[in-house]
Amino acid sequence: MDSSQEETFITACTGCGKKYRLPKRVLGRQVQCKACQTVWRAVPCPDQSPSTEASQLTDAASSQLAGTASGGNSALNESSIDDDSAWIGKKLGRFQVVEVLGKGAMGIVFRAHDPDLKIDVALKILGKQFIRSKKTTYRLEQFIREARSAARLSHPNSVIVHQLGQDQGWYFIAMELIEGKTLLDLVRRQKKKVPIDQACELIAQAADALSAAHRLGIIHRDIKPSNIMLTREGRVKVADFGLAQFEDAGDDFELPTKAVGTPYWMSPEQCRNQTAIPQSDIYALGALLFFTLTGEVPFRGDNKREILNQHLNAPLPDPKKYRAEIPDSLVRIIQRAMAKNPAERYQDAAEMAIGLRHVVNAIAQSRMAERYGGLFGYSAGPQPMMRGSSGRFRNIVLIIVPIALILGTVFWFARSCSSPPRPPIIQPTSQDTGPMVPVFAIKGELRYHALGCPVISDVPTSSLTRFNSDKEAEAQNLVGCTYCQDLLRIQKENAATQPAGTPTPKP
C-alpha cells in the first residue's frame, strides 16, 4: 500500500479508535477493524499529517477492499445479481453503488450515491434472468410499473422515485432512501406492545397514501408490514408498488394469476382470484392494524390454502383477546375494515384514517383529564372540604365554576330569545337538476352509487335505498361514490337523449 499523502488517507475505527492508513479509492466505503471487528464508513480523520501513526490493514483485508472499491465497470455486464460484492464501487447510470441494503425475489437493493443531487438513494436492480427468460418477461413490465406507480402518486406518505433507468443491460429504480425501519421491525422491537395511539396514527398515514393512490386509479394489492417503511422521524412511507393494478381501460397488463399478494393480508376477493378493488387494500389495512396492536396476524394456518380459507369463511378473532386495553371503538374500526363483503367496508381509506384519528384524540383527552383533572377537584365521588391554601383554592374553584356555568346559560337563553327568527332552510329538489337518474345507497352508509357500481353489485336489493336522483340523495346528506362518477355522468347523458316516459332501471 502506497504511503504517500496524495494516494492515501487516515481513518479511525469508530469502535476502538484505532487508526488506519487506507488508499483513497476506498474513501466512503465500509471497512472492518481487525482489532475489534467494528464495521464503519471510511472517512478521513481531522489529523492527516504524514507523521501520524496509523496501522495498515492486513493483506487479506486490503485485497478485499481493492475488489470492493475498484473503479470502472469492466465486469459489470457479466456480474450476477447474486454476487453483490462485485457491485460495490461500480457505477450504474450516474449512481455509484456503496453497499447492500437487502435482497428480494426479483433483485437486490443497494445504497448508492447520486453525484448530481449530492444524496444517497436506494438503487433497486432487476435480475437479468427476468429479462432474458420468455416465461418471466412480465417481471420487467411489473418492475417498470412499480416505478411509474410510485412516481405518479407523489404523496408525503409514499416513497419518492427519482429515476427509472437502464444501463449496460441492467434495469434499475433510484428511489428515496429511508434510513429508518419497517413496521414489522417496530412491532418486533416493541415486543408486540406498540402504543395504541402510535399504532392508530401510523395506519392512518398509510391510509392517507392509499386513499390518494385509489383516487389516481392505483390499487397496491400487497399491503403488509414489510412494505410500510418508517423514517427516523416516525413518518410512514408506503413502498413496493410492484403488484399494483391500474384502473385504466387501456391497461391490458395482467400477472399470471389474479390471486396476488401475501396470504396473511389478502382480502377475500383476492383469495377468490377476483379483480382487486380499493376496498381490497382497506381490508389489508385492517389486518395491518390488528397486527400492529396485537403482534399477531388475524388468521393463521399450516399452509397457504388454510390461511386463504379463513379469510373467506372464518369469523374475525377479537383483538382484545390478545390485548385487553384496546378500546371498543378501535375494535369496530378493525371489524368494518375487514368485513367479508367489500360493500360493508370503508368505501374510502380516508374515512378509516378519520376514525383512527378520532381514537387518537380520545386517548389524548383521556390522558389530559387524568393528568390535570385533580387540579380542579374532579373525581368520581364527593370530596370533603379541604384545609390549607391548596384546599381553599380548590374549594373556591368548585364554587365559582358552577355559578359561571349557570350565568352563561341564562345569558345565552336570553340572547337567543331576543334574536329574530332565522329563515327556513330550503333543501334543493330534483325538479331543476336535468335528467332524473336513480341512484342507490346501502342502508346505514353515507354514500350513494350509480346503477352498475361494483360496490353494490353483490348487495341484496332489500339492503339498498333508492333515490330518484343524485340531488335527492344529497339532500339527505349523502355524498357520491368516488369510483362511479363517470358511470353516473354517462347515465345522465343517456337519459337526456331518451324520450319521455322511458321506464327507469332497477338494481
**Which conformational region is residue 452 in: left (phi greater than 0), alpha (psi within -120 to 50 degrees), or beta?**
left
Q: What distance in Å separates the CA atoms of residue 479 and residue 476, rounded to the nearest whole number?
A: 9
Report, as an integer, the average pLDDT of 478-506: 76
pLDDT at 359 over 80: yes
Mind listing the pLDDT tens digit for each residue in 8-53?
A: 888 888 777 788 888 877 776 777 787 777 777 777 776 666 655 5
Higher pLDDT, 176 or 148: 176
In percent, how much of the chain has pLDDT > 70? 74
- Residue 300: other Cβ atoms inside 10 A: 11
Show Cβ contacts of residue 274 under 8 Å, excluding neighbours closer than 6 positions.
Answer: 258
Show Cβ contacts of residue 56 under 8 Å, excluding neighbours closer than 6 positions.
Answer: 1, 20, 21, 62
Higher pLDDT, 447 or 238: 238
Window from 48-62, 172-186, 253-267, 324-338 with minimum mean pLDDT: 48-62
The secondary structure of the chain in percent helix, strand, coil, rounded to multiples of 5, reads 40, 15, 40
Report, as an integer, the average pLDDT of 304-323: 94
pLDDT of amino acid 393 = 61
162 sits in which H/E element:
strand 161-167
Q: What distance in Å separates the CA atoms of residue 1 and residue 431, rounded to the nearest whole number?
A: 90
pLDDT at 358 over 80: yes
Mind listing the pLDDT tens digit for each residue in 390-413?
A: 556 666 666 777 787 787 777 776
Phi, psi dihedral angles at 11 (to 5 degrees): -130, 160
Mind listing the pLDDT tens digit for each residue in 95-137?
A: 999 888 887 767 788 999 999 889 999 999 887 766 655 555 6
Mind listing the pLDDT tens digit for each residue in 270-293?
A: 999 888 899 999 999 999 999 999
CB 300 within 8 A of CB 294: no
Window from 206-210, 243-247, 341-345 with minimum mean pLDDT: 243-247
Count, residues in the chain? 507
pLDDT of amino acid 130 = 67
pLDDT of amino acid 429 = 42
CB 164 within 8 A of CB 147: yes
Report, as an integer, the average pLDDT of 321-330: 94
Q: What distance in Å separates the CA atoms of residue 156 and residue 206, rounded to the nearest whole number?
A: 10
Q: How confident is the model at residue 322 (pLDDT cuts 50, 70, 90)?
A: very high
pLDDT at 152 over 60: yes
Q: How confident is the model at residue 349 (pLDDT cuts 50, 70, 90)?
A: very high
> Which residue numbers are catalytic?
222
pLDDT of amino acid 294 = 94
pTM over 0.85: no
pLDDT of amino acid 74 = 45
3-state secondary structure of 99: strand
Mind listing the pLDDT tens digit for each residue in 199-230?
A: 999 999 999 999 999 998 899 988 999 999 99
Q: Extract the C-alpha cell encoding 215.
A: 383516487
Chain CA centroid to CA 138, Å: 25
pLDDT of amino acid 212 = 93
Higher pLDDT, 176 or 89: 176
